Structure 1
Amino acid sequence: MSRIWITGYRSYELGIFTKNDLKLKIIKQIIKQKINQYEENGLEWVISGGNLGIEQWTGEVVKEIQKENQETNIKNAVILPFENFGKSWNDENKNSFLNLINSADFKISTSQSEYKSPIQFKNYQSFMLNHTDKALMIYDSEHKGKSEYDLNRIMEYNKINPQYDYEIIDFYELQELADELQYKEY
């Protein structure tokens, strides 16, 4: 496996609105653990979108890994569903998005026009599935969110292409990590 698509909840779906939220620390820690684990198995590219939340935090984690380990082969690609993605966001979110884009090793939009229709999102999903070897999602089926569309598409793709693997990190796994981190602090 050399390319992984990482996606999941938007920040507001998790109730995370500040950079110092403990939930964010746990989410970034599990993303980092998974990337490091996958790198041992040949991972080279972490590919995600530009959505606020899991996708942008994934980009931050990759940059952190690159700074901490000059020997890493991990690179970060940001793939967007259309041009001017995020243009209606507030200034703080736009700045966060620009930081992500500017720090990416590769960036492209699957549609060369601005948003026109939902088909751009379907084309984006197809691109991601056809250009990655595996998907990692932070998602819990008991707590619906926008990334459910990605999960459904990933599962459909997996039925047709069983070699395409996916992993889901749910809230129980996040809670286990939180408990483990808390235990280590005491």
Structure 2
Amino acid sequence: MKVLAVSGYKPQELNIFRPDSEEVSYIIKTIEKRLQSFLSEGLEWVVVSGQPGVEQWAAEAAIRLKEEWPDLKLAVLPAFMQQESKWPEHAQARYHRIISQADFTDVISKREYENPGQLRTRNDFIVMKTDALLLLYDTEQPGTPRFYLEAAERRSAKETYPVYWITPEDLQVTVEELADRDYDPFIE
């Protein structure tokens, strides 16, 4: 696998309402661990649409990993122009920082938001352009990641398309591992 899509919950779906929340640092660390295992197997690109939550945190994890893995590339493919215009200011700022450090950016629909079909098109496009999907999702807790999962299932009906998971248990393992090392989530 050379190209990996990453998605998952939005912050509010995880009951995270502060951008500097301790939980965010644990999610980023968990994503980093998963990406490192894929990097050791030949991963070259991480692809996100840049939505707040797991996608932005995954982009930040990829940017951090570039220090150790300089060949790693980040692509940000928003569904439509000005996708960030309705987000809170902190999410917009985070998005613009990510875009400024991405290796490739392009808007899938060259128009501003018109309808939900643009989101489905984005999901299908990103799934078709990648080799696998890493999804922070719990099927017991429905949310927006199911739309990426549905796109992956549509592709899987025709050909092999692996879906890798980050589960609540994976996050708990990270919390416990870092607690054993006296990790301070506010110091990076």
TM-score of the superposed pair, with normalisation by structure 2: 0.90
Summarize deviations over 1:45-101 as a string: whole Å, max 9, x none: 0001111011011111111112x32x5210110011111111112322221221121
Contact 2:5 2:46 in 1 (8 A): yes
* 2:104 aligned partner: 106
Partners in 1 of 2:154 and 2:179 — Cα distance?
Answer: 38
Query: Structure 1 pair 151/174, CA: closer, same or farther in 2 (3 Å)?
Result: same
Q: Which residue of 2 aligns with 1:125?
A: 123
Shift of 1:23: 1.5
Partner of residue 49, structure 1: 49
Q: Report what 1:90 is aligned to.
A: 88
Which ranges of structure 2 fall in alignment gaps of 5 or more residues? Answer: 184-188
Deviation at 1:21, TM superposition (A): 2.4
Give the match's secondary structure for 2:43.
coil
In the aligned structure 1, how far is the partner of 2:180 from the partner of 2:139?
27
SS in 1 for 2:165: strand
Q: How far apart in 1 are the matches of 2:174 and 2:85?
A: 35
Q: Distance in 1 between matches of 2:29 and 2:82?
A: 30
Question: Contact conserved, 2:30 with 2:170, CA < 8 A, in 1?
Answer: no
1:107 Cα deviation after fit: 0.4
SS at 1:4 equivalent: strand
Question: Cα RMSD between the aligned structures?
Answer: 1.6
Structure 2: how far apart are the matches of 1:145 and 1:180?
Answer: 27
Question: For residue 5 of structure 2, what is the aligned residue in structure 1?
Answer: 5
**C-alpha distance in 2, partners of 1:61/1:27?**
9
Range moving further from structure 2, 86-95 or 29-38: 86-95
2:21 alignment partner in structure 1: 21
2:130 corresponds to which letter in structure 1?
A: T
Give 2:179's match in structure 1, choosing from 175, 179, 182.
182
Query: 1:92 and 1:184, CA in 2 relative to 1: closer, same or farther beyond 3 A?
Result: closer
Letter in 1 for 2:175: A
